[in-house]
Amino acid sequence: MSRSFGRLLTVAAALLALPASAGEIRIGLANPLTGALAASGERNWVAIELAIRALNQDGGVLGQSLKLVAVDDGCGTDRAAAAALELVEAGVRLVVGHLCSHSSLMAAS
């Protein structure tokens, strides 16, 4: 895991945790977990899991643990909006993704 990625995740989660209640901070991952780019999505998932594990071992962020919620956007336009809605419904505070720009554009709304 890159130390700079871990620091970035810590800062982002801390900023998002300020108005949150005690408990956990849910971090979303929207990446292709199936299809032609699944290997890239899996690598991203592993990296984020490692960063979250390290942060939680150090006490979390502002006393709150982090939890990853991963969704498969398939790097496609059809699946991106549905994946974004899944993350909203899961109560994530921060999203890492989408890997593909066209998926980001479809999920933005």
Number of folded domains that form the chain: 1
DSSP-based three-state secondary structure for 90 = coil
At residue 3 the predicted structure's pLDDT band, cuts being 50, 70 and 90, is: low
- 51-90: string of b/e by CB count within 10 Å (b at 16+)? bbeebeeeebbeebebbbbbbbbbbbeebbeebbebbeee
Which pLDDT does position 103 carry in this prediction?
A: 87
CATH code where residue 26 lies: 3.40.50.2300
Range of the domain at 67: 3-107
More confident of the two residues 18 and 9: 9
Which pLDDT does position 37 carry in this prediction?
A: 94
Burial class (CB in 10 A: 0-12, 13-18, 19+), 23: exposed
DSSP annotation of 20 reads: S
pLDDT tens-digit readout, 75-96: 988 899 999 999 999 999 889 9
Which pLDDT does position 98 carry in this prediction?
A: 87
pLDDT tens-digit readout, 20-74: 555 788 999 999 999 999 999 999 999 999 999 999 999 988 888 999 999 999 9
Q: Is the pLDDT reported for residue 11 higher than 90?
A: no
Q: State the Cα–Cα distance between residues 99 and 37, nearest whole angstrom.
A: 9
Supply the pTM of this predicted model. 0.78
